[in-house]
Structures are given as C-alpha cells and as structure tokens.
Amino acid sequence: MTLKTNPFCLDEPLLWNYENTKFISRKIGMIIHHSNKNFILDISEIARLAGLPITTTHEHFKKLIRIKLIIPRSYINYRKLDLVHVHVFYKDPKINMIDKKIGITDFWTYYAKFYSCSESGIYVRYLIPLKYVSQLLMFIDKIKTAGYINDYEIKVSEYYLENPITFDWYDFSSRKWIFKWDLWSDEIDKASSEFEFADPKTVYELDEIDLKILENLEKNPLNDLSDIARLIGVTPQIVHYHYHKHLITNKILLGFYMDLYPFPYKAYGQRVSSFYLVNIMFENNGSLARYMNSIRGKTLVKSVWKNLGEDSLLIAAYLPSGEATKLLDFILNMKQKGLAKHYKLVLLDLETVKRNIIPYNLYNISTKEWKYNIKSYLTEIENLSDDHSINE
C-alpha cells in the first residue's frame, strides 16, 4: 500500500456501536485474530493461517482499514532505544491543558482525560530516556507551582507488552464475547512464576537508515519497504538489510498488529463499555510473573507496563461496563489468594484521546543519544505564566 499522508499512528480506531458488531463475521474475526496473535500484517500469511483466499483476506483487510474498525500499528521495543514510558496523571487541571500545550513536551505520546471516584484530570504518557526522568519531574513540578494543576501522580515503566485483541473469547455462533473469569483465575494459579522481560542493559545504537525506517513504519505500518527506500533515497536492498539484520534480528521491531475496540462504546447516548488503567501491586515478582504468563488471548487486556523498581503493573483494559464488577472481583480474588496487595483504577475518556510519535529528529546519530531540551520546556511554562488569558 502507498504512503499515507495522515499517519495511522495518530488515528484512533472507531468507537463501535451495536451496528458495528454485526459486521464481524467469522472470516473477519479470523483475519484479526491471526494478525494479532502472530503480530503480522502480511496478507498472504494471515490468509494461510485463517484458511482464506488471499483476495478475500485482502478485500476484508482494506475495508476494515477504510472504515477504521481497525488501525494498524507497529510494535516497537522502545526499551532497546533507551526509552521508558512515564505515565503522569495531572490532577484537577485549572485550564485546558492540551489547548495551552501544558505538559506537552516533544516526548509525549498519548493524552486523554481520566476520572475516578475521587478525582479527575489529564493522563499524559511520555516516552523519554531514563536519565531524563528527573528533568521531566522538574517540568511537572513547574506546572504545579505555576498553579495549572492541583497535584499529580507519576509511574515510570521500564518494560511494556502489547496484547492486541484476539477472538479466543468470542463465540461466532451467538456473536457474543464470553468472559471466562474463572478459567483465567485457574490459569494464573497454574502459571509459571518466572517471566522474562527484555534486557534493559542491551540498548541498540541506531544508524540513520534504521531511524528512518522505524519512523516511517511507526507512522504507517503498511508502508512497503520499497516505498520507504524511495522516500529516504536509498536502494530497496539497503532498506531490506537494515530492516531484517538490524531491526528484526535485534528485536527492536517486534511486529505489527491491528488496534481496535471490539465492544460497543455507546448506546442511546450512554457509555456501555469502558477503558480503564488499573495499577496492581503484586505480593512479589513471582506473583507478577504468573499474571504476565496468563494474559495472552485475554481480550480485555490491551497493554501492560511493568513499573520501575516495584512489583507492580499498569494495565490498560477495555471491557463492557457490565463486566466491570467482575474485573474488580477478579482482582479481589487475587488479593485473597495472596497474589496481589492492592490496586488503583481510573477511567479514560476515549473520546478525548490524542496520540503522537516519538521525536525521531531528536536522536543524534553521532552521539547515539536523545536530546531532551529541559530549558526550553521550562521557559515555555514561564512564558505561559505571563499570559493572563490562561486563567480565562
């Protein structure tokens, strides 16, 4: 497919209604299932795994993208690029933070409003070098001191795992999702207490071609390598070499997947599904590992981050509102079994989501380091303090 002017990475999948669910036939379900289970967007391979003709698979795939039921994404091991996820919950903002660019540095990647029983605010996710986390904290403290927020909470995650939607829990005959909470709980009990995350010490030093390939594939995972070669001005052979020998071999690019929200989001103006961020503190690393070893194929879990320096996970979960109490029961059951200590949950407003990609232009090819301009960010906050309209 040709280069897309508006990058897929900045798009959100369609928030489904009940009519959209009728669109999911067994063929379409299997296309999404095998793509996400194997982290591939290769039409021929998806068709083979799904037992479908290539032409049928291609037509369904194009339609899914055209109506935005799915958004193709690249799965990048950012830790290999010396980047960590930093999750900041800006509490009780006094202004429209996104319009005023408050909290928006070059390294922000995700933005949404959040709510809980006791507080609300703005959730911003950053991807920055670990050594600059302290400088980001200076920036956030400056925002608080300036009076733009009441308080904040921060989580630094050294690892993350994508868990794209599969159809293991979908019954095609009734066209309903079956949430197998008891079976999942039993699976955790039997899971291994060892889980291997990526090695944080092995940071890969990108060259210019690696960098440009990654940037183009993050913007649009459907870009053909030959298209990327024309775009960056090198031969297809060079791009193929860097792609396979550098990015794939060194596990920087882990694959591709189809992002989607597979349950109706609203009906008659009321929300009927919810997107949660759940932070669970586990009893120990073994308990955390058992949970991690159980999540593949669990439809509601979209992404998981391992928090730095503690046995806790931040989990992105999308599920029908009717299953929310069962999610809480599931977590409480882990507490009763001595697997988890406590948890905290917030709700994200999917209608406010904005995305961004990492600033590849701030990677210095010569020094193999990222540039983080803290002085510039602090100056922007100081300049906004002089803008009297900010409190209007």
Q: How far apart are CA 46 and CA 32, in angstroms?
A: 9
Residue 273 lies in a domain: no
The predicted pLDDT at position 201 comes to 63
Residue 121 forms part of a structural domain: yes
Burial level of 137, CB count in 10 A (0-12/13-18/19+)?
A: middle
Cut 0.85: pTM above it: yes
Residue 200 is predicted with a pLDDT of 60
Q: ∠87-153-290 over CA atoms, to 5°?
A: 60
pLDDT at residue 385 in the model: 61
| Cα–Cα distance list, 85 to 103, 157, 255 (Å) | 15, 5, 19
Which pair of tokens denotes residue 179? 């949430």
263 class by beta-carbon count within 10 Å (0-12 exposed, 13-18 middle, 19+ buried) = buried
pLDDT at position 362:
95
Give the separation between CA 281 and CA 344, rounded to whole angstroms.
9
List all residues 6 or more positions away from 244 whose beta carbon is below 8 Å from its beta carbon. Answer: none
Confidence (pLDDT) at 24: 87
Which residues in the chain come in under a pLDDT of 50?
1-6, 388-392
User: Cα angle vertex 10, ends 7, 12, to 5°?
Assistant: 120
Give the model's pLDDT for residue 35: 97
- Residue 256 within any structural domain of the chain: no
**327-336 long-range CB contacts below 8 Å, 24 or more apart?**
327/276, 327/278, 327/300, 329/181, 330/181, 330/184, 330/185, 331/278, 331/280, 333/185, 334/185, 334/188, 334/280, 334/287, 334/291
pLDDT at position 392: 42
Q: How many CB atoms lie within 10 A of CB 237?
A: 10
The enclosing domain of 104 has a CATH number of 3.30.70.920
Q: If residue 300 lies in a helix (H) or strand (E), which one and from where to where?
A: none
59 in any annotated domain: no
Task: State pLDDT tens for residues 215-250.
Answer: 999 999 999 999 999 999 999 999 999 999 999 999
For residue 291, the 8-state DSSP code is: H
Q: Are 277 and 114 in contact (CB under 8 A)?
A: yes
8-state DSSP, 82: T
Residue 242: count other Cβ atoms within 10 Å of its Cβ. 23
pLDDT of residue 2: 34
Q: Which domain holds residue 145?
A: 78-158+352-378
* Residue 325 burial by Cβ neighbours in a 10 Å radius (0-12, 13-18, 19+): exposed
3-state helix, strand, coil in the chain (%, to 5): 40, 25, 35
Q: Assess if residue 39 is contained within a domain.
A: no
The two beta strands, 170-171 and 176-177, are: antiparallel
Instruction: Let me know if residue 134 belongs to a domain.
Output: yes
User: Is 139 contained in some domain?
Assistant: yes
Residue 360 lies in a domain: yes
> How far apart, in Å, do the first and last CA atoms of the chain sit?
46
Q: What is the DSSP string of 303-353?
A: EEEEETTSSEEEEEEEEEGGGHHHHHHHHHHHHHTTSEEEEEEEEE-GGG-
**pLDDT for 18:** 79
Predicted confidence at residue 156, as pLDDT, reads: 97
The tally of domains found in the chain comes to 1
